[in-house]
Amino acid sequence: MTRFVQTGPSLRDPYTADPQLRGWLDRLLGEDGHAAAKQRLADLSAEVVGPLRAAHHDAETHPPTLTRFDAWGRRVERVDTSAGWQAQRAAAARHAVVALPYLPDAHATWGPGARVVQHALLHLWGPESATFSCPVAMADGAAALLTQTGAQPQWLARLVSTAPAVAVTSGQWMTESQGGSDIARSTTAARPDAGGWRLTGDKWFCSAIDSAMAVALARPEGAGPGSRNLVPYLVPRYAADGASPAAGLQVLRLKDKLGTRSVPTGEVRLDGVEAFPLADPAAPGLATMMTLVVVTRLHNAAAAAGGMRRGLEYALGYAAERTIAGGVLADNPLHRATLGGLAVDAAGAFALAMHGFALLGRAEHGDAEAAAELRLAAPLAKLTTGRLAVASASEYLECFGGAGYVEDTGIPRLLRDAQVLPIWEGTTNVLSVDVLRALSGGDGIAPLLHRLTAAADAGTHRRPGVAEALSAAAARLAADAATAAADPRSPRVVAGARELALRLGHALTAALLLEHAAWAAERGDERPALLASLWILRRLGQADVSAELHEHFNQLI
Ligand SMILES: Cc1cc2nc3c(=O)[nH]c(=O)nc-3n(C[C@H](O)[C@H](O)[C@H](O)COP(=O)(O)OP(=O)(O)OC[C@H]3O[C@@H](n4cnc5c(N)ncnc54)[C@H](O)[C@@H]3O)c2cc1C
């Protein structure tokens, strides 16, 4: 008897197989700017489908371990990680996934667009990085903070190094067991000592605990209560020998997590550990820390968008191979509609994440308008893509049938790893409350509404119902945002914060997809207009577009 053996999904080159990514790079960087990035993107892409995919697998199957004592009882606090994790570490440095926006030649070539190129690198690499994208996010956040404050230049140089032997990553120690969202309850104390500072307290979730440094929040001696009086401190993780733990630092245990299993996430005890303030300890320091948090939230959005696109690639690959009643799965109208919907969502998530990086680049180059827009766009990008990523990952597993539930296919991790995206760096609800704050301060909803109206007026969408869905959504959002801004603490407004934030996120995505569609249509490419229209009809108009998803399937992927 011949036994049937199913062919698994292949992975196409993620750069050449992603027309949306290439189109957005052409628009945001100009064709010359994109051309200047091509070699970098192609080189990384080639590694992603080859050695980095293997390294990813190795890291996933050899999770980190913690050895607290050596055979003689000496405290070592050693975290061992796999060869795959180390290969990802080296690749992150070589491909400048942290460093790019800080490199002088990248500044000269792309200006603020260096952040756009960085997002493209993350989009290609993140899903096959064994979640090394997590320490990369925190290293970038730390680098942005050190760049802004001018503190600790010797650490900054290492964070943004492209030499694997020199480059370091950073942890970010904020969460304590009594409250991750409510950091006002932080009890870690900073006390002055012989001209320096010492930290004492327990940190409950410290990802990438193998990193050389961390940025920890602590309350300086004598500072008042509340979150705003917390100050970020740089904590060297290791002693001068580079291997022993810093004096007073203990890694109590590693978390046994649902996903992100390659990442060593520790619980840490600090008992008088040496630390260096990154803001004036005599003044409220949380605002300084937000520089880091905005960066890591955007990386979170990039991880969500990248994971969704890669999940789609795997599901497409499988659909092309798998035969069901009636023929190849990829030809089945219902499966095509399912995949088409996932493609539209992946396109929306990509637009949000890319927009966030583009705004960040402009804000870092002194563009006040971009900085104001980022205030609302960053939490919207993080929370909207986080929710989309989990819903999509569940569908991707289902696209593989039972194989999607079996560990050694590699598919279940799509769902396990996606679930962290709406939790860390602020849960969906916590970010929704932040959105309420953003609506009631500064420019509020104005930049978003302006984008939406301008994009709608450009008239690229020609499908019935799109214009109506857009204008109804804009009118409702304007009214609801005004109510929320007027009394952001009223229980009715707070209760509706998540629903409002998601609607805002979907509307911003609609505007971004339409902006790109208008640009593409002028160049004879109608595909982005189709994606934008279907996003608007589904997400803003709540319409059933299944038949269109099936009919236009090939244009959506
Ligand atoms: C894999 C992983 C890695 C992590 N790595 C790090 C790290 O490296 N560094 C770090 O500092 N932290 C890290 N975290 C911690 C993470 O940031 C926190 O878990 C998260 O911020 C939530 O805090 P919490 O766990 O205390 O939950 P809580 O704050 O207790 O939240 C519990 C529930 O209450 C809700 N809630 C809380 N406040 C509000 C509010 N105001 N309004 C409405 N609802 C609310 C939340 O939405 C949630 O549903 C990590 C977490 C995970 C899962």
- pLDDT tens column, 37-64: 999 999 999 999 999 999 999 999 999 9
Mean pLDDT over each residue of the chain, to the nearest integer: 96
Helix (H, G, I), strand (E, B) or coil at 390: helix
Rg of the chain (C-alpha set): 23
Who contacts 492 (Cβ-Cβ below 8 Å, separation ≥6)?
none
Q: Which residue has the tokens 């890319």?
A: 354
Distance between Cα 88 and ligand 1 center (Å): 27
pTM: 0.98
User: Distances in Å between the alpha carbon of 98 and those of 5, 122, 142, 205?
Assistant: 41, 9, 10, 22
Q: Which of 181, 235, 257 for mutating ligand 1's site (highest number of atoms within 8 Å of CB)? A: 181
| Mean pLDDT value across residues 331-343 | 98
- Residue 458 confidence (pLDDT) above 90: no
Residue-wise pLDDT tens digits, 260-285: 999 999 999 999 999 999 999 999 99
pLDDT at position 53 is 96
- Residue 10 confidence (pLDDT) above 90: no
Q: Counting atoms of ligand 1 from 1, which one is nearest the CA of 181?
A: 29
> Which is nearest to 342 in space by CA: 534, 501, 526?
534
Q: Which residue has the tokens 């990086």?
A: 357
- Residue 461 confidence (pLDDT) above 80: no
Helix (H, G, I), strand (E, B) or coil at 48: helix
> Which is nearest to 449 in space by CA: 397, 401, 407, 510?
510
Whether residue 177 has its Cβ less than 6 Å from ligand 1: no
Distance between Cα 325 and ligand 1 center (Å): 45
Residue-wise pLDDT tens digits, 370-380: 999 999 999 99
| Mean pLDDT value across residues 112-141 | 98
What residue owns the CA closest to ligand 1's atom 17? 424
Q: Counting atoms of ligand 1 from 1, which one is nearest the CA of 177?
A: 26
User: Distances in Å between the alpha carbon of 144 and those of 182, 230, 297, 354?
Assistant: 24, 18, 13, 18
What residue owns the CA closest to ligand 1's atom 37? 181
Whether residue 420 has its Cβ less than 6 Å from ligand 1: yes
Distance between Cα 44 and ligand 1 center (Å): 33
Whether residue 174 has its Cβ less than 6 Å from ligand 1: yes
Alpha helix ranges (H) inside 419-526: 428-440, 446-458, 466-486, 491-495, 497-522
99 — phi, psi (to 5°)? -70, -30
pLDDT at position 442 is 78
> pLDDT over 90 for what percent of the chain?
95
| Mean pLDDT value across residues 74-100 | 97
Whether the Cβ atoms of residue 15 and residue 21 lie closer than 8 Å to each other:
yes
- Residue 441 confidence (pLDDT) above 90: no
Q: How confident is the model at residue 456 (pLDDT cuts 50, 70, 90)?
A: confident
Helix (H, G, I), strand (E, B) or coil at 554: helix
Whether residue 262 has its Cβ less than 6 Å from ligand 1: no
Distance between Cα 187 and ligand 1 center (Å): 16
Distance between Cα 406 and ligand 1 center (Å): 29
| Mean pLDDT value across residues 189-209 | 97
Whether residue 181 has its Cβ less than 6 Å from ligand 1: yes
Q: Counting atoms of ligand 1 from 1, which one is nearest the CA of 174?
A: 11
Whether residue 173 has its Cβ less than 6 Å from ligand 1: yes
Residue-wise pLDDT tens digits, 141-194: 999 999 999 999 999 999 999 999 999 999 999 999 998 899 999 999 999 999
Distance between Cα 184 and ligand 1 center (Å): 13
Whether the Cβ atoms of residue 471 and residue 455 lie closer than 8 Å to each other:
no
CA atoms of 137 and 116, how far apart (whole Å): 15
Q: How confident is the model at residue 459 (pLDDT cuts 50, 70, 90)?
A: confident
Q: Which two tokens stand for residue 372?
A: 């104001």
CA atoms of 195 and 276, how far apart (whole Å): 10
CA atoms of 235 and 257, how far apart (whole Å): 25
DSSP 8-state code for residue 538: I
Helix (H, G, I), strand (E, B) or coil at 171: strand
